[in-house]
Structures are given as C-alpha cells and as structure tokens.
C-alpha cells in the first residue's frame, strides 16, 4: 500500500428538507386543517479515528464527500427522513487543517475519537406548525436550511516512540531492518527512502517500542532542498530522537550540525526532544578512525556518542535498550503530569 500523509478534500453537509403545505381531505372527517409535515435534517459530515489504518491513501482517489439532503415533509403530518451522514475514517495521528494549510481545526490522537466537521441543515417547518387561533388554514411552509461546504486538508503525523534522523545514506533503513521486521528499501545510493517507515523493535517480553524512519535530510531542507522537511512532522510526537551519523563521512561533526540546523529551522520543538547520537558503519572503519571520529562527534553534540553497525549488528541492541529506557522515562513523566495533586483539608 502506498504511503500518503497529506490530502485535500471537499466536504459538504446535506441541506434540510423543505416543509410542505397540505390539508386534510378525508371523507366524512370534520374540521380538516393543515397537516403538512416538516422536512428532515440534512446529513452531517463526521471524521472518525480508527485502528488498522496508517495512511491517507483512500483520499487520493476520492476527494469529494457529500452528505444526503433531508427528505421533504409530506401530508398527514409526516416528517421527512433525515439525510444520511458521511463518516470519514482516518488513522490515529491525523490532523484536520483549514484550506490555508495552517489553521489547525482538529487533532485526532485516540482510536475511537469522533468529531463533527459540518452539521447538516435543519428541515423546514410544514404548514401545520403555522396554525394559530387567527390563521386556521396557513398556506406557508419553510424551505430547508441550505447546505454548508468547505475544503479541508488532512495531514497525518505518525505515532512512534522513537524517530530516526540523519543525512541520506547514513544507514537508517538498514538499522531499522536489522532491529525490526520492517522491510524498507536499502541501496548504496542516497534517497532510497522516499516515504516514512515504521518498525516494531522487540527487545524482550517487557521491552517493545515503535521506531520511525523518515527520508534523509540535506542542507537547505527547510527551504525545500532534496525532499524538504515535510516528513519531519512524523517525528514530532516521538519520545526520543536517534540521530544517526555516517561513520564513513569525512567530517561527522558537520553532518551532525547540518541536521540540527534543519531541525531548528523547522521548529515544532524538535530541538528540545531527548536525543541519542550514534556513529554508524563502524564495521568499515579502523580502530583509530573510530576513536578520532567519535571524539569529533562528541565535541560537536556535547554528549556521549554510541558506536553501532547496522550491517554487522554491533552495538545495536545495547542502543535499543537505551532508547527504551528514555521512552519509558518520558512516559512516566507524562503520567505524573496528568495526576492532579491531592488537596489536603483538615
């Protein structure tokens, strides 16, 4: 299934049904009168967060969604049926934006979350509603309320516990394939990853988390260079960032600073997220080269640098254990924030 994380769609709520003008004309029934029924309500447009979806591909081939119009009222005080609703099913992490692609309308973060995007128009009153003591035979009925419509953007931000960052060809996809059952494309040239990939890292029965790999960034990505910074939204919700630096790079410090600069320009609080830096491809380096580049990288990031190899697997599971510890610490901190302090009273 092709990955799609943005879609522009048109939604339209149903118009209300019109009320009707009708009078009783039954044989041998005295005191006939107005019996026009009300029109039915127009259908609503709903959006629902469901499990089992991880892409917006359904909205690539259909962009227009229209709820049904309410049925018109009928004689004998029969009200029209309400119009059928439209329900848009989207994956967890979907955001609804206005047509300007900046104004956030909804953020769907939980399975089962359901929100109304547009309400259908109310049905019009039939002439039975207009009967009064001075107007026993009204010949008036209301039309249904007009429909409402708009264009919106759907944007998916994947939910993952940890996110992989790095320049193209840093070995992110190889690492993801080594520690999970994910099968991202890997090759000996840059930009083999064109769409985000998710993998479940299963360390043991009590330690498991989701790792997201996004396409590599290059200098100027925030301004649209390469694949741009579009996919950085998929790591905004992660608990920790794994910054992978290619050990065969001539200057790993420059590689690290390039990515950090793009994160700062993108915003979204990514530079404040916990970060673990790892020097990859150590299987292709000598001991002296490893020590030299590790030292340079530690000076650049001002923190400990882990040594790993996605091909040989060296250091990977120790690194995954560290990621899991940071993720659990973050979850614990979030849980404590949600606990309201107990108010003591005598």
* R_g (Cα) of the chain, nearest Å: 30
Q: In this prediction, what percent of the chain has a pLDDT beyond 90?
A: 58
**What pLDDT is stored for residue 187 in this prediction?**
62
pLDDT in tens, 79-136: 999 999 999 999 999 999 999 998 999 999 999 999 999 999 999 999 999 999 899 9
Looking at the DSSP bridge assignments, the partners of residue 199 are: 211
**Parts of the chain belonging to CATH 3.40.50.300:** 162-338
282 vs 115: CA distance, rounded Å: 50
What CATH class does 162-338 carry?
alpha beta
pLDDT at site 192: 61
CATH fold of 1-156: Spo0b-associated Gtp-binding Protein; Chain: A, (2.70.210)
Q: How many of the other CB atoms lie within 10 Å of CB of 119?
A: 17
Inform me whether the pLDDT recorded for 340 exceeds 70: no
pLDDT at 345 over 70: no
Per-residue CA distances from 94 to 5, 110, 114, 239 (Å): 9, 10, 12, 18
Q: 203-221 pLDDT, tens per residue?
A: 887 888 989 888 777 666 5
Q: How much is the pLDDT for 224?
A: 58
Number of H helices, E strands in the chain: 4, 14
Give the Å distances, CA to CA, from 304 to 163, 275, 288.
18, 10, 18
Going by pLDDT thresholds of 50, 70 and 90, the confidence category of residue 236 is confident
pLDDT confidence band for 53 (50 / 70 / 90): confident
pLDDT digits (tens, 9 = 90+) for 62-76: 999 999 999 999 999
Q: 198: which strand partners? A: 212
Residues of the chain with CATH 2.70.210.12: 1-156
Kindly list the strands in the beta sheet with 6-12, ordered across the sheet, starting from the edge strand earlier in the chain.
Answer: 64-66, 6-12, 149-156, 94-97, 104-107
Residue 48, pLDDT > 90, answer yes
């Amino acid at each position: 299934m092709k990955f799609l994380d943005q879609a522009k769609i048109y939604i339209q709520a149903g118009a209300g049904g019109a009320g009707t003008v009708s009078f009783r004309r039954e044989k041998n029934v005295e005191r006939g009168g107005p019996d026009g029924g009300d029109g039915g309500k127009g259908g609503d447009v709903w959006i629902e967060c469901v499990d089992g979806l991880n892409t917006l591909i359904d909205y690539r081939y259909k962009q227009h969604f229209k709820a049904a119009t309410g049925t018109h009222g009928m004689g004998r005080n029969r009200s029209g049926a309400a119009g059928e609703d439209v329900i848009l099913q989207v994956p967890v992490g979907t955001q609804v934006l206005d047509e300007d692609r900046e104004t956030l309308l909804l953020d769907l973060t939980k399975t089962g979350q359901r929100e109304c995007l547009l309400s259908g128009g109310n049905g019009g009153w039939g002439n039975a509603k207009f009967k009064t003591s001075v107007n026993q035979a009204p010949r008036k009925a209301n039309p249904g309320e007009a429909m409402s419509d708009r264009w919106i953007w759907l944007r998916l931000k994947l939910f993952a516990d940890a996110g992989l960052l790095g320049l193209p060809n840093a070995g992110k996809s190889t690492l993801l394939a080594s520690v999970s059952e994910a099968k991202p494309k890997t090759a000996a040239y840059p930009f083999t990853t064109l769409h985000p990939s998710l993998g479940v890292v299963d360390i043991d029965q009590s330690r498991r988390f989701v790792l997201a790999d996004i396409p590599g960034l290059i200098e100027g990505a925030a301004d649209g260079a390469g694949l741009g910074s579009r996919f950085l939204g998929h790591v905004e919700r992660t608990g920790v960032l794994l910054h992978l630096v290619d050990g065969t790079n001539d200057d790993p410090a420059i590689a690290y600073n390039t990515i950090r600069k793009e994160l700062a320009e993108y915003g979204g609080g990514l530079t404040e997220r916990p970060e673990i830096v790892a020097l990859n491809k150590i299987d292709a380096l000598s001991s002296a080269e490893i020590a030299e580049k590790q030292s340079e990288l530690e000076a650049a990031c001002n923190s400990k640098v882990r040594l790993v190899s996605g091909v040989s697997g060296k250091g990977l599971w120790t690194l995954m254990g560290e990621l899991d510890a940071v993720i659990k610490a973050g979850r614990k901190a979030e849980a404590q924030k949600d606990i309201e302090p107990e108010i003591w009273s005598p």
